[in-house]
Amino acid sequence: MPALVLLGAQWGDEGKGKATDLLGGSVDYVVRYQGGNNAGHTVVVGDQKYALHLLPSGILSPTCVPVIGNGVVVDPSVLLSELSGLNERGVDTSKLMISGNAHIITPYHVTVDKVTERFLGKRKIGTTGRGIGPTYADKINRVGIRVQDLYDESILTQKVEAALDVKNQVLTKLYNRRAIAVDQVVEELLGYAEKLAPYVADTVLVLNQALEDDKVVLFEGGQGTLLDIDHGTYPFVTSSNPTAGGACTGSGVGPTKISRVIGILKAYTTRVGAGPFPTELFDADGDALRRIGGERGVTTGRDRRCGWFDAVIARYATRVNGLTDFFLTKLDVLTGWEQIPVCVAYEIDGKRVEELPYSQTDFHHAKPVYETLPGWSEDITKAKSFSDLPKNAQNYVRALEEMSGAPISAIGVGPGRDETIEINSFL
């Protein structure tokens, strides 16, 4: 059976959690392959609302095995408190598996993330302050700590020493902060070892065997295409690969196993943190999108920047991810606008540009070229099929599909599991 990837097509917060949860009951494994607790995925099940950060959204489906892959960075304290929070609400988390090769976010990574941002001042990225960038930097620098290191005290101590050698110089001499004691860090990390032990597994083997046994594996991306370290709006990005290729490297499953790549696409655009955003609105429409769409960060509580739909970005997401489908979310939020502008191209230094420019300078100069589509005023939250949608909403969806380069196979008309119109089945 196939592996599917579900990922953010824009700057994150497209509704990946809801989409994953929706499929959770029909798949055998849900795998996070990158990122960490910078993610905030809200899932609404009946009258219950769950905010997940590190755990795959499949954790809410009793039959599904949730997996944290090798490409994820894990803050053990966050993981354990997320698990106990779910247990208190009656969610069984015992099936969780964590790759022994996943890297650990330590307290010093969180400290370095925060002081670096402060030091950058006006040039800051606006990170979530969760230690994500510094942990991936240590991974690439080969001074990272992995989950498996918790089970060998001598190796763990050596690795923490190696990591803190340089960091303490930087912290004390450059940032004027206190040095971090190796022993303290080692002691804290060892304290997590026993609690995490039941979950640690050879997830590469488990997932590949599952695929051989015809099980369905769903990869759930964190963040989004334009936050990708390689393909996003660098340097205003996260430090991992949310794009489809990341699902392979972050899990140890080869690309030939992936049969479908679903891009989660909001019917308008949002962004959290700094960086270019051509369709951003600074007016009453932007405020209305934020208010009606509830656009406030699940992780940091920051207001999300809001703007109209950008088809240039959607086309780009189709290309760099090889998208086979889109899941269009939050169409209901657009109800009530008489006219809805959609960005179809950019104007850059007086020239019309149809595709996302690779040059950062050009992207910073990009001005949206809008086409305006007629809106609708009818409540669409009860719509169950495409034909239940008002004509103008249907036309809006069709227009987006045409501009974006892949079929829209599902439409979200509300946050709940059942507030979804399925057009083509994903499985």
Which chain residues interact with ligand GDP by CB under 6 A? 8, 12-18, 39-42, 44, 294, 298, 329-330, 332-333, 412-415
User: In this complex, which beta carbon is closest to Mg ion, that of residue 18 or of residue 146?
Assistant: 18
Candidates 123-131, 208-216, 314-322, 378-386 — which segment interacts with ligand IMO by CB under 6 A? 123-131
State the minimum distance, in angstroms, from the CB of residue 125 to ligand IMO: 5
Backbone region of residue 53 per phi and psi (left: phi > 0; alpha: psi in -120 to 50; beta: other values):
alpha
Q: For 298-413, where are the E strands, in sequence order?
A: 305-307, 309-310, 325-329, 339-348, 351-353, 367-374, 408-412
Question: Is 222 a residue that touches ligand IMO (CB under 6 A)?
Answer: yes
C-alpha–C-alpha distance, residues 103 and 76, integer Å? 10
User: In this complex, which beta carbon is closest to ligand IMO, that of residue 217 or of residue 226?
Assistant: 226
Question: Is 19 a residue that touches ligand IMO (CB under 6 A)?
Answer: no
Identify whether the C-beta of residue 335 lies closer than 8 Å to the C-beta of residue 374. Answer: no
Question: Is 125 a residue that touches ligand IMO (CB under 6 A)?
Answer: yes
State the minimum distance, in angstroms, from the CB of residue 363 to ligand GDP: 23
Buried b (16+ CB within 10 A) or exposed e, 284-313: ebbeebbebbebebbbbeeebbbbbbbbbb
Strand partners, 265: 328
Question: Is 132 a residue that touches ligand IMO (CB under 6 A)?
Answer: yes
Main-chain phi, psi angles of 282, to 5 degrees: -115, 20
Q: Closest residue (Cβ) to ligand IMO?
A: 273
Tokens coding 87: 């247990």
Q: How many residues bind Mg ion (CB under 5 A)?
A: 2
Q: What sign for the dihedral angle of Cα 279, 284, 288, 294?
A: positive
Question: Is 233 a residue that touches ligand IMO (CB under 6 A)?
Answer: no
Q: Among residue numbers 5 through 34, which ones bind Mg ion (CB under 5 A)? A: 13
Identify whether the C-beta of residue 269 lies closer than 8 Å to the C-beta of residue 11. Answer: yes
Element (H, E) at 269: strand 269-271
Which of the choices Mg ion, ligand IMO, ligand GDP, none does residue 132 contact, using the CB cut-off of 5 to 8 A by kind? ligand IMO
Question: Is 100 a residue that touches Mg ion (CB under 5 A)?
Answer: no
Among 15, 24, 40, 69, binds ligand IMO (CB under 6 A): 40
State the minimum distance, in angstroms, from the CB of residue 12 to Mg ion: 6
> 235: cis peptide before it, omega within 30°?
yes
C-alpha–C-alpha distance, residues 43 and 235, integer Å? 30
Question: Is 329 a residue that touches ligand IMO (CB under 6 A)?
Answer: no
Any catalytic annotation for residue 103?
A: no
Which of the choices ligand GDP, Mg ion, ligand IMO, none does residue 15 contact, using the CB cut-off of 5 to 8 A by kind? ligand GDP
Buried b (16+ CB within 10 A) or exposed e, 51-63: ebbbbbbbbbbee
Neighbours of 135 (CB within 10 A): 26
User: In this complex, which beta carbon is closest to ligand IMO, that of residue 100 or of residue 415?
Assistant: 415
Which of the choices Mg ion, ligand GDP, ligand IMO, none does residue 3 contact, using the CB cut-off of 5 to 8 A by kind? none
Any catalytic annotation for residue 13?
A: yes
Tokens coding 58: 């499949």
User: In this complex, which beta carbon is closest to ligand IMO, that of residue 128 or of residue 203?
Assistant: 128
Instruction: Kindly name the residue from 21, 41, 75, 138 that is annotated as catalytic.
Output: 41
Among 24, 58, 76, 273, binds ligand IMO (CB under 6 A): 273
Question: Is 38 a residue that touches ligand IMO (CB under 6 A)?
Answer: yes
Neighbours of 144 (CB within 10 A): 23
User: In this complex, which beta carbon is closest to ligand IMO, that of residue 298 or of residue 369?
Assistant: 298
Identify whether the C-beta of residue 297 lies closer than 8 Å to the C-beta of residue 11. Answer: no
246: Cβ–Cβ under 8 A, 6 or more apart, which residues? 33, 34, 71, 221, 228, 240
State the minimum distance, in angstroms, from the CB of residue 14 to ligand GDP: 5
Residues near ligand IMO (CB under 6 A): 8, 11-13, 38-41, 125-128, 130, 132-133, 222-224, 227, 238-239, 272-273
Query: Applying CB under 5 A, which residues contact Mg ion?
Result: 13, 40
